[in-house]
Amino acid sequence: MEAKWLEDFLSVARTGSFSLSAAERHITQSAFSRRIKSLEQWVGVALIDRSSYPTRLTAAGLRFQAAAREATATLLNTRQDLRQAARADRRLLRIAIQHSLASGFLARWLATLPLARDDLLTQVRADNLHDCVRDLEEGCVDLLVCYTHPGLPLQLSTERYPSLTLARDVLTPVSRPGADGRPTHALRPGAAAAVPWLSYSADAQLGRMAALALDTAEPPLAVHPVFESALVEALRATALEGLGVAWLPGSLIADDLNHKRLVRAGPASLDVPLRVRVFAERSLLNGRLQGLWDCARRLAEDAPEVQAAADL
């Protein structure tokens, strides 16, 4: 059983609507429904009466509601106490970062910061963007490192959460090359035959960014999804095996491009510019993170751009 299931249950008990509660909890309605179903399976009885609208609790659900409120309150209070203790520890630096940035970028960035000088113990949580943002807003972490794109702004207050651009990257469609060095699978605007597409999961941020390229392509591109994953490394691996075209960050595949293991699979107009940004709560920047943030700001001013793959 996951604690967030209790919060989901209390939300739908209050709103009487799966759709309203899903929006409140910042997840899709289908994912929200699955979490409620998982909670009911864990409890062993139906908690929600789905035969009426607005949605009502069953008799068992009404009994469980009181226990859920008490358990949630206890967890929240205990969590707040533990957070305050963690914040008092000046040696602890907690970072939430997207999976796609955790394996390569993070280590390179941390190596430029004075962590040893400040005797900092760094704790890292690699997760999807939604949960990373939630961890920052709820005070579970000190920093959030993620990709951003102007067409998909984060719902974070710029006043409360200042940010720095750490690097510039580019999402590029790539494929394994054939014997002639050309892409095995090529995206050619206007072509009738659909190209096998290695896509991100629907809730993955990089997937929404890749969708921007597909949605704005003129003339439209014909693609056929053959593989889906939220993990960028999984898409890279399937692209290297020649299963289709994937939009991958240039920083991740720079060595693959240099050694011709992957090549550009579409025109430069299909590239999606990205920025790697770090966010922090303003109140922390006037205290234990001030020196670290000042150093990060100086380094950010010299952040290089990732070179795009050579055009077709």
CATH value at residue 144: 3.40.190.10
pLDDT category at 36 given cuts 50, 70, 90 is very high
Please check whether residues 157 and 285 belong to one and the same domain. yes
Please check whether residues 136 and 269 belong to one and the same domain. no
Which whole number is the average pLDDT over 63-92?
Answer: 77
**What's the whole-model pTM score?**
0.67
Calculate Rg over the CA atoms of the chain: 23
What pLDDT shows up at residue 299?
A: 78
Mean of all residue pLDDT scores within the chain: 86
Please check whether residues 214 and 269 belong to one and the same domain. yes
Residue 170 · residue 250 · CB < 8 Å: yes
Please check whether residues 126 and 149 belong to one and the same domain. yes
As a whole number of angstroms, the distance between CA 232 and CA 207 comes to 10
Please check whether residues 77 and 55 belong to one and the same domain. yes
Please check whether residues 119 and 146 belong to one and the same domain. yes
What pLDDT shows up at residue 89?
A: 52
Query: Per the structure, how many domains does the chain have?
Result: 3
* Domain final residue pick, 27, 60, 85: 85
* Domain final residue pick, 52, 68, 85: 85
Point out the least confidently predicted range of 30-34, 233-237, 239-243: 30-34
As a whole number of angstroms, the distance between CA 68 and CA 102 comes to 35
* Domain final residue pick, 85, 109, 131: 85
As a whole number of angstroms, the distance between CA 48 and CA 68 comes to 14
Three-state DSSP state, 114: coil
Q: How far, CA to CA in Å, does 39 sit from each of 59, 67, 74?
A: 16, 13, 19
Which residue range forms the structural domain that includes residue 183?
169-273
Please check whether residues 225 and 194 belong to one and the same domain. yes
Task: Count CA within 13 A, CB hemisphere, residue 81.
Answer: 6
Q: What percent of the chain has pLDDT over 70?
A: 93
Confirm whether 129 is domain-assigned: yes
Nearest-5° Cα angle at 208, 212 to 141 = 135
Residue 187 · residue 245 · CB < 8 Å: yes
